[in-house]
Amino acid sequence: EKAEIGLIGLGVMGANLALNIAEKGNRIAVFNRTTEKTDEFFAEAGALADRIIPCHTMEEFIDAIRPPRPIIIMIKAGQPVDDQIQHLRPYLTNGDIVIDAGNANFHDTRRRFKELDGTGLTFIGMGVSGGEEGARHGPSIMVGGTPESYARVEKVLTSISAKFNNEDCCAWLGADGAGHFVKTIHNGIEYADMQMIGEIYGLLRDGAGKSASEIGNIFGGWNKGRLNSYLIEISEKVLAARDPHGDGPMVDMILDQAGQKGTGKWSVIEAQQLSVPATAIEAAVAARVLSSMKSQRVAAEKIFGSAPGKIDASGAGLNDLELALFAAKIGAYAQGFAVMSEASKEFGWSLPMPVIAKIWRAGCIIRSQFLDEITTAFTAMPDVENLIMTPAFSAMVKEALPSLRRVVAAAVTAGLPVPALSSALSYFDSYRQARGTANLIQAQRDFFGAHGFDRLDGKDFHHGPWGSGLNE
């Protein structure tokens, strides 16, 4: 019996995805560049081996799959994917579907989609979130491509995706690069969410003198409330863990340099290209970069010193910290969704905001109760320009903003860095200001470059009285 689907790339993600696919009752053919890995994988598949066809050559692999063949490529993103497609192409026949499930840059996905368009083959760009565990037991799946090609793979994909209240965390989101774009923004939001949790951790550690386990307990408490989420949950666990090779908390022994693979940076680049302010996400990406400059920071502390003031983490103070994190988190998510909304227009995708929020509720790294509330808000107002303009979220922001303001003010006074929290605060403060300060910028621009401005009274005079030649 032929396989329903094929998968190339038995690395961490590919192997787990393949086991998940087999476990849900689908026959799957697998191939890996290094063939020993295929054998190892098959040997360790246990009872699932019955549904797995291990292949050592492209000929065997292609022959093992029922046409039209959906073939998932789950390998290192970038040039390897182009090479793999090149290698695969001569074997494919009409109707076959090449699915890139890695973390591709959506511009590459659009190009690859175009390259296969009209050849009888189709391309799907599929964002997969949830790490190793998600791939094995239920990831969140964001699909871009033609609706027809999605129809061919929908059954397999929904069988392996995460579920939230029995609803699949898998959906077709739009043409060509839509799925990979949404995955990119997911990762940008993830960066912001993680950074904001990290900033609150810093205030508790350096401003309130709390130990890792004390902070873990605080996060554990918050995880039962409005901040309930996977990221808070794992932060609690991480903070509770002891160093198996020492006698202190594990986190205290970890070098404070964060890595990144590029999707966070891409989300910021795209936000800038689309002219959408995504300041909290930008701050989070910049914070990771700053974290990597360890030797500069060590040298700078010697010059400038670092003697943080106190942060109040008693009853009311602690409540403020919780609400501040919540408010800032809303800001980051609102920005991420606003970027997607603009991209949707720019690339002609009609991205369905309520569906995106829905498929992020489980499986992915940013999964949370909060995303269910975003789903409800966007379902009621799918075309709203900004999440914070929905009645439910306006109310939440109004309630939590004073806490964010107090926390950012206290952090600034104490000399503790809160780049993402303060960016979110300034975003709210700018967004709600009907009369801003760009009138001065317009005047400056007109002064030095005769750029002109619009008048509030609508009169037809577009230059200021700054000097000879510019007066009108």
Q: Which residues bind ligand NDP (CB under 6 A)?
A: 9-14, 32-34, 37, 74-77, 80, 83-84, 102-103, 128-129, 131-132
Q: Which is nearer to ligand NDP, 83 or 243 (CB)?
A: 83
CB of 177 to ligand NDP, least distance (A): 15
Catalytic residue among 37, 132, 183, 345: 183
Q: What is the 3-state secondary structure (H, E, C) of the chain?
A: CCECEEEECCCHHHHHHHHHHHHCCCCEEEECCCHHHHHHHHHCCHHHHHHEEEECCHHHHHHHECCCCEEEECCCCCHHHHHHHHHHHHHCCCCCEEEECCCCCHHHHHHHHHHHCCCCCEEEEEEEECHHHHHHHCCEEEEECCHHHHHHHHHHHHHHCCEECCEECEEEEECCCHHHHHHHHHHHHHHHHHHHHHHHHHHHHHHCCCCHHHHHHHHHHHCCCCCCEHHHHHHHHHHHCECCCCCCECHHHCCCCCCCCCHHHHHHHHHHHCCCCCHHHHHHHHHHHHHHCHHHHHHHHHHHCCCCCCCCCCHHHHHHHHHHHHHHHHHHHHHHHHHHHHHHHHHCCCCCHHHHHHHCCCCCCCCEHHHHHHHHHHHHCCCCCCHHHCHHHHHHHHHHHHHHHHHHHHHHHHCCCCHHHHHHHHHHHHHCCCCCCHHHHHHHHHHHHCCCCCCCCCCCCCCCCCCCCCCC
CB of 348 to ligand NDP, least distance (A): 26
190 as an active site residue: the answer is yes
Q: Which is nearer to ligand NDP, 44 or 346 (CB)?
A: 44
236 as an active site residue: the answer is no
CB of 187 to ligand NDP, least distance (A): 9
Q: Which is nearer to ligand NDP, 75 or 387 (CB)?
A: 75
CB of 108 to ligand NDP, least distance (A): 11
CB of 10 to ligand NDP, least distance (A): 5
Q: Which is nearer to ligand NDP, 53 or 364 (CB)?
A: 364
Q: Which is nearer to ligand NDP, 84 or 422 (CB)?
A: 84
The residues assigned a catalytic role are: 183, 190
